[in-house]
Amino acid sequence: MLKTKVFREVLAIKMGRTIFGKLLYPVHAFYFDGVLIDTGCWHCRFEFSSFLKELNIDKVILTHAHEDHFGNVWAAEKWQIPVYVEEKGLPFLQEPRRLKMELYRKITWGEPAKAKALPLPQLVETQHFTLEVIKTPGHSPDHVCFYEPENGYLFSGDLYLGERQNLLMYTENFWEIRNSLKKVLALNPKILFCGLNGYVPGASEKLRAKLNYWDDLAGKVLDLADRGFSLKEINQLMFKKKHFISIVSGGSFSSLNLVRSIIRDRKDGEEI
């Protein structure tokens, strides 16, 4: 499935695998002023590569090297379009097996083909604007956002994902994501272009709401941990409902991982 929608100067490209007509998990790429931001997933390669021919793309830039964001870099290579990713992401494009994808990820997004890319510069020039590269680790070590200050656009990759996010992958770091949220919030962005949700107006309010929710969550988790509750007990107390994706992923993407990261990854002296 591939659908497009225009928001001012930005073309949002929504895609994802469907089974029996149901979209499993959406992902967005964005076309802005001659630049393609992310490329979606391998399972949408035929629709995406056909669509790519219709766009005048000068370069491709990636928010991070996960399979649902660099899945169609191969198509950019085919058309000799340069691709850029943060330096830590380069090895994963060169050998996608380094991602160590679980079965649910292969089913949902597919395993990308090997690809080549160049290291991201600090600034990305579009035809009429300049995108600032903001390092925002936590979801992955190489994660970045792209900020266009004239319009207040923030292309946020997988940093935001929703105000009340309570699922993490085992490899994610709650505190690094929290610090990255604070970093982009300081920019006072107006509009988010989110890898999951697409166009999100009221960017600063939405980012602040997520930060407040996470701070409240972390406070409760740490209090329970101090009182001697185990990880599983805290998870059961905090999150009564088990998400479907937690079940199909075998717990690889779950609220338990969020609880674990709040406790495991907190640095000495880190305050809420």
Reading the chain (272 residues) residue by residue, the pLDDT tens digits are 999 999 999 999 999 999 888 898 999 999 999 999 999 999 999 999 888 888 999 999 999 999 999 999 999 999 999 999 999 999 999 999 999 999 999 999 999 999 999 999 999 999 999 999 999 999 999 999 999 999 999 999 999 999 999 999 999 999 999 999 999 999 999 999 999 999 999 999 999 999 999 999 999 999 999 999 999 999 999 998 888 888 888 889 999 999 999 999 998 777 88
Q: How far apart are the C-alpha atoms of 187 and 235, rounded to whole Å?
A: 33
SS3 109: coil
Q: What is the pTM of this model?
A: 0.96
Strand blocks (E) in the chain:
2-7, 10-15, 18-19, 22-23, 27-32, 35-37, 59-61, 83-85, 118-119, 123-125, 130-135, 144-148, 153-157, 168-169, 191-194, 198-201, 253-254
CB 4 within 8 A of CB 50: no
The confidence score (pLDDT) of residue 10 equals: 98
How many angstroms from the chain centroid is the CA of residue 107? 18
Supply the angle between the helices 203-226 and 231-238 in degrees, to the nearest 10.
130
Residue matched to tokens 């390092």: 135
Q: How far apart are the C-alpha atoms of 77 and 36, rounded to whole Å?
A: 13
Length of the chain: 272
Residue 209: its H or E element: helix 203-226
Class of the 3-269 domain?
Answer: alpha beta
The confidence score (pLDDT) of residue 241 equals: 83
Q: Which residues of 64-94 are buried (b: 16+ CB within 10 A; e: fewer)?
A: bbbbbbbbbbbbbbeeebebbbbebbbebbe
Q: Which of 112, 36, 111 has the alpha carbon at shortest distance from 76?
A: 36
CB 124 within 8 A of CB 35: yes
65 Cβ neighbours under 8 A, 6+ residues apart: 85, 86, 88, 89, 90, 92, 93, 99, 140, 142
The confidence score (pLDDT) of residue 20 equals: 87
